[in-house]
């Protein structure tokens, strides 16, 4: 399905019921990463996934674009689908779009946010260096390959290989834009949890993740949740940066359970 906006946005729409899930891919990612998740989650509630402008089945715009335009894409899908209440499901740095949707559309229309495998407590310095490397025409390919290697080494999963191949179809323009926009969001808003804290009223948030597997990251999030009851975290039994490809049924169940807690 396509929106009828100036930049037509492709999206999938399955199931019935609200609040609906709206799955948001990361930069240089396509909605196909959510295919199995939508099949599972859509059995219990309405579930959607979009391609950002310039990605997958959506139209490529003229000129540059950034995070603000991705927010416009998501709102266009919400309006085209005729959905009153939506829970954004942001993969990695699409979480910034999810936060902005809540800020712009309010608690009535965005009653909660789900985040998938994100640096919710903030990025480590090497990652910020990688974002700068993606913006350098002499180093971006090596940096991108480093990310791909980190996401795939030791994992035998055809769906993951297909997803990486789709991401690899994007060149320097798209990857440098990704590096620029992700770095800009961290610079403007600080850590994701700090940005979430500024939402009023407090927004229920679920973080589902698989990586990193060390207990320190989980312990830090659980400690944060103790003093911020609107935040909850669940570590999944998966091994990649894309748990919806490995344990899509578990992700769907967790999302469905989270949405039920949002019902008045």
Which residues are known to be catalytic?
241
CB 44 within 8 A of CB 63: no
Helical (H) or strand (E) element with 227: helix 215-227
Q: Is 116 exposed, middle or buried (0-12, 13-18, 19+ CB in 10 A)?
A: buried
Confirm if 161 and 44 have CB atoms less than 8 A apart.
no
Measured in Å, how far apart are the chain's first and last C-alpha atoms?
A: 31
DSSP class of 93: G
Encode burial over 139-178: b for 16+ CB neighbours within 10 A, e otherwise. Answer: ebeebbeebeeebbeeeeeebbeebbebbeebeeebbbbb
């Amino acid at each position: 399905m396509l929106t009828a906006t100036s930049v037509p946005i492709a999206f999938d729409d399955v199931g019935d019921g609200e609040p609906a899930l709206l799955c948001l891919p990361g930069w240089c990612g396509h909605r196909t990463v959510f295919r199995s998740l939508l099949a599972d989650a859509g059995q219990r509630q309405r579930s959607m996934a979009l391609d950002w402008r310039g990605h997958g089945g959506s139209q490529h715009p003229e000129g540059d674009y950034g995070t603000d335009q991705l927010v416009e894409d998501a709102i266009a899908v919400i309006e085209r689908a005729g959905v009153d209440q939506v829970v954004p499901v942001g993969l990695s740095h699409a979480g910034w779009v999810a936060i902005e949707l809540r800020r712009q559309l309010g608690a009535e229309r965005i009653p909660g946010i789900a985040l998938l495998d994100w640096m919710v407590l903030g990025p480590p310095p090497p990652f910020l260096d990688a974002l700068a490397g993606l913006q350098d025409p002499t180093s971006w390919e090596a940096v991108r390959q480093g990310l791909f290697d980190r996401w795939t080494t030791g994992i035998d999963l055809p769906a993951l290989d297909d997803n990486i191949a789709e991401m690899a179809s994007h060149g320097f323009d798209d990857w440098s834009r990704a590096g620029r926009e992700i770095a800009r969001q961290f610079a403007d808003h600080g850590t994701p949890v700090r940005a979430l804290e500024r939402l009023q009223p407090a927004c229920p948030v679920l973080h589902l993740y698989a990586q990193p597997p060390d207990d320190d990251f989980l312990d830090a999030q659980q400690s944060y949740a103790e003093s911020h009851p609107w935040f909850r975290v669940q570590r999944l039994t998966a091994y990649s940066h894309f748990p919806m490809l490995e344990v899509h049924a578990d992700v769907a169940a967790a999302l469905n359970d989270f949405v039920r807690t949002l019902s008045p």
